[in-house]
A and B are shown apart, each in its own frame.
Chain A
Amino acid sequence: MDLKEKLVAAFIAFENRDHIDIDSSVHDIRYKAIGNFENKGFPTKKDEEWKYTSLKPVLKYDYSIFPSIENNIELQEVKKYFLHEIESYKIVFVDGVYSSFLSTTTHEEADICLLSAALKKPKYKIIIDHYFDKAADNADSITSLNTAFAKEGAFIHIPKNTILEKPIQLLFFSTGKETEMMLNPRNLIIVGENSHVQIFERHQSLSENVVLTNSVTEIFAHKRAIINYYKVQNDNKNASLIDHTYIKQKDNSIASVNTFSFGGKLTRNNITVFHEGENLTTNLNGVTIIGDKQHVDNHTLIHHQKENGESFELYKGIYDGTATGVFNGKVIVDPEAQKTNAFQQNDNILIGKRSSINAKPQLEIFADDVKCSHGCTIGELDDKAMFYLQSRGIPEKEAKALLLFAFGNEVIEKIKIPALKSRIIKLIAEKLNVEMGFEM
């Protein structure tokens, strides 16, 4: 039985088990989704969107879909993955199962809790019917796969006029007690009018065992909402992540997603943004620093559908060893979306002689009064700059790290949570194998 067949079979068991709890509309969505996945299967390199990222190396395992036992972990074991220096809400999962012990949820100023609870409780039915699976694109077979198994993940519903001071941390741990494990976390985030939220997401394997995470997050930003979303990807070398983030924005909202990819075996980030209102802003930024045989693919799509929308994309990549990268930035500007400003920049440094990057801007512009630009650079470390730094007494390794850090700093500066910023800086120093603070 190949992985696809196994997943389809597992779905039947999953549905039977969950049947009593969940509203029938969700069942319908799941059935439709598994049908779609069964039809299309996993994408191959023949698919235009997967031309430079092969899933073959991560699909060859015999994944277990559900943990056979509930796995507990000690806080001490995972503390370093949290932003423990600051007060925050936390929604934590261990092998796909909610850990109440590690979490700090609330129903007071907002609902910050579990998707499984929201899917079950009648009081959330209206919200679930209105939002669940309404941003995700189920024409995408991997998203369909996630939808079919959608059960657990974060549910965040922030009512209007709420400025959430504390950030929300979403942590997904895998213990590796199952040797080969697939996880399908599903997050639903609704931010009401005039409300602000900061979210930090991390998938972390606690062993060297094989893990494949297929994560889908749906975000709805209502009028004048402000969302700052941070994805920190620094997983172990046998952990892979396929991440889809779907965002729907209304008038005057600002949505920013910052993705920091340093770890993992294969990471595919898909961010799809729909501009359903006017005067809104989307910021998508990323820093990728990888080496060895690592692969990171950043796939973005911003669909400008209304007037006066803005989007800014800045992705920086540093590739060592035989690492490979992909940047695919698609921007669609509808005929109605006049006065759109869409800017995209992708800069890369190839350090490894056999490292590579495939960069592809895709601009589809159907309106005439717009400003759109894209740029892509691929370079190496500048010998003259290296000599200059070294001649001042900075050793080669540190000089290299300083130049690489400076290259990524434009994105790092955009981090609005100071504790997270220093954490990212620390991770970069670790990744570049130097003991430096990079105070800028």
Chain B
Amino acid sequence: MLQIKNLHAGIEGKEILRGINLEINPGEVHAIMGPNGSGKSTLSSVIAGNETYKVTEGDVILDGKSILDLSPDQRAHKGIFLSFQYPVEIPGVTTTNFIKTAINAKRKALGLDDFPAKEMLKMIREKADLLEMDRKFLSRSLNEGFSGGEKKRNEIFQMAMLEPKLSILDETDSGLDIDALKIVANGVNKLKSKDNATIVITHYQRLLDYIVPDFVHVLYNGKIIKSGGKELAFELEEKGYDWLK
């Protein structure tokens, strides 16, 4: 599904990713772990198309085609979804209107008519219930005044609505207490299928108790220095990152 080949990228001339190679197949969950500053968030931003970062070498291929020339919205239309580490507050746009606009924008790009309003509302309610979201958040301005946990839950709600092929969860566990973490993880697990894939980016092993990865990769200084099964996460939790350097 997704192939990352010798990816080099940076910001303002400073190289952050120094040759990443990764292959992700449908149905898989990959965890990317690493200390602060190792390039985890840069990798997720580059896959999603954030133009702040410049790709200097290598390629990102989705379903056999390079996506590097595509804008973030075009990548979203192809099924990429990024759950933000710090979701942005958008005053004046309600969560409901936002998600409607997003879904219909994708449908338009695919040459489809707008999603029928009534069915949309039904789907919004179902997905909000799945995430045990208070419905009042749906009519509030997107993320405005939400707690850290509410913002993260809203991210997964959007993911549930958009039904992406490849979801990247960037530090989704930060800001969540254990109960919210379980609800969010449960939501992610329910959305998993044999056709979609998930990249879980995290600093700690905690989230991986609930979203169990098939593969764990250690990112350090812009490179994947070790890959393994889920047991690698436990090892990292026990020994830290120093033994790998």
Tell me the nearest residue of chain B to A406, going by C-beta. B92
The answer to whether residues A394 and B101 also contact, given A383-B52, A399-B73 and a CB cut-off of 8 A, is yes
| Cβ-defined contact, A387 with B72, below 8 A | yes
CB-CB < 8 A to A406: which residues of B? 90-93, 141
Chain A contact surface mostly: helix
| Cβ-defined contact, A405 with B162, below 8 A | no
Within 8 Å by CB of B92, from A383, A388, A390, A405, lies: A405
The count of chain B contact residues (Cβ–Cβ below 8 Å) is 34
CB-CB < 8 A to B101: which residues of A? 394, 398, 402, 436
A409 on interface, CB distance cutoff 8 Å: yes
Distance from A132 Cβ to chain B, minimum over Cβ atoms (Å): 42
Within 8 Å by CB of A403, from B51, B90, B97, B102, lies: B90
CB-CB < 8 A to B82: which residues of A? 391
| Cβ-defined contact, B84 with A388, below 8 A | yes
Q: Specify which of B92, B100, B106, B109 lies most central, judged by the most chain A CB atoms within 10 Å of its CB.
A: B92
B105 on interface, CB distance cutoff 8 Å: yes
B48 on interface, CB distance cutoff 8 Å: yes
CB-CB < 8 A to A409: which residues of B? 92
CB-CB < 8 A to A387: which residues of B? 48, 50-52, 72
Distance from B50 Cβ to chain A, minimum over Cβ atoms (Å): 5
Within 8 Å by CB of A439, from B91, B100, B102, lies: B100
CB-CB < 8 A to B52: which residues of A? 383, 387
Chain B, 61-94, CB within 8 A of any chain A CB: 71-73, 75-77, 81-82, 84, 87-88, 90-94
B115 on interface, CB distance cutoff 8 Å: no
Chain A, 362-406, CB within 8 A of any chain B CB: 382-385, 387-396, 398-399, 402-403, 405-406
Tell me the nearest residue of chain B to A385, going by C-beta. B88
CB-CB < 8 A to A382: which residues of B? 88
A1 on interface, CB distance cutoff 8 Å: no
CB-CB < 8 A to B102: which residues of A? 389, 392-394
A260 and B236 CA atoms in complex are apart in Å by 60
Chain B, 123-180, CB within 8 A of any chain A CB: 141, 158, 162
Distance from B79 Cβ to chain A, minimum over Cβ atoms (Å): 10
CB-CB < 8 A to B222: which residues of A? none
Tell me the nearest residue of chain B to A408, going by C-beta. B92
The answer to whether residues A392 and B76 also contact, given A398-B101, A439-B100, A440-B97 and a CB cut-off of 8 A, is yes
Within 8 Å by CB of A392, from B71, B92, B98, B141, lies: B98
| Cβ-defined contact, B50 with A393, below 8 A | no
A123 and B63 CA atoms in complex are apart in Å by 82
B49 on interface, CB distance cutoff 8 Å: yes
Distance from B186 Cβ to chain A, minimum over Cβ atoms (Å): 23
Within 8 Å by CB of B105, from A388, A394, A405, lies: A394
Distance from B82 Cβ to chain A, minimum over Cβ atoms (Å): 5
A252 and B39 CA atoms in complex are apart in Å by 62
| Cβ-defined contact, A398 with B105, below 8 A | yes
The answer to whether residues A439 and B72 also contact, given A392-B158, A392-B162, A407-B92 and a CB cut-off of 8 A, is no
CB-CB < 8 A to B105: which residues of A? 393-395, 398
CB-CB < 8 A to A439: which residues of B? 97, 100
CB-CB < 8 A to A292: which residues of B? none
A15 on interface, CB distance cutoff 8 Å: no
Distance from A389 Cβ to chain B, minimum over Cβ atoms (Å): 7
CB-CB < 8 A to B75: which residues of A? 391
CB-CB < 8 A to B141: which residues of A? 406
Tell me the nearest residue of chain A to B161, going by C-beta. A392
Q: Specify which of B76, B99, B109 lies most central, judged by the most chain A CB atoms within 10 Å of its CB.
A: B76
Within 8 Å by CB of A391, from B48, B92, B94, B97, lies: B48
CB-CB < 8 A to B106: which residues of A? 393
A102 and B192 CA atoms in complex are apart in Å by 63
CB-CB < 8 A to B94: which residues of A? 440
| Cβ-defined contact, B76 with A391, below 8 A | yes
Distance from B74 Cβ to chain A, minimum over Cβ atoms (Å): 8
CB-CB < 8 A to A384: which residues of B? 88
Tell me the nearest residue of chain B to A401, going by C-beta. B101
Distance from A405 Cβ to chain B, minimum over Cβ atoms (Å): 7
Distance from A193 Cβ to chain B, minimum over Cβ atoms (Å): 38
| Cβ-defined contact, A396 with B97, below 8 A | no
Distance from B29 Cβ to chain A, minimum over Cβ atoms (Å): 21
Distance from A415 Cβ to chain B, minimum over Cβ atoms (Å): 15
A180 on interface, CB distance cutoff 8 Å: no
Tell me the nearest residue of chain A to B114, going by C-beta. A437
A410 on interface, CB distance cutoff 8 Å: yes
| Cβ-defined contact, A389 with B90, below 8 A | yes
Within 8 Å by CB of B73, from A390, A405, A438, lies: A390
Tell me the nearest residue of chain B to A407, going by C-beta. B92
| Cβ-defined contact, B90 with A385, below 8 A | yes
A393 and B109 CA atoms in complex are apart in Å by 9
Tell me the nearest residue of chain A to B77, going by C-beta. A393
The answer to whether residues A410 and B92 also contact, given A396-B71, A439-B97 and a CB cut-off of 8 A, is yes
List 9 contacting pairs A-B, 8 Å CB cutoff, sorted by A. A383-B52, A385-B90, A390-B72, A391-B48, A391-B49, A393-B73, A395-B109, A439-B100, A440-B97
Other A-B pairs, 9, CB within 8 Å; known A387-B52, A391-B48? A382-B88, A389-B90, A389-B102, A396-B73, A399-B73, A403-B90, A406-B141, A407-B92, A438-B97
Task: Give the 7 A-B residue pairs with the shortest CB-CB distance, closest first.
Answer: A406-B92, A393-B76, A390-B72, A392-B102, A388-B88, A393-B106, A409-B92
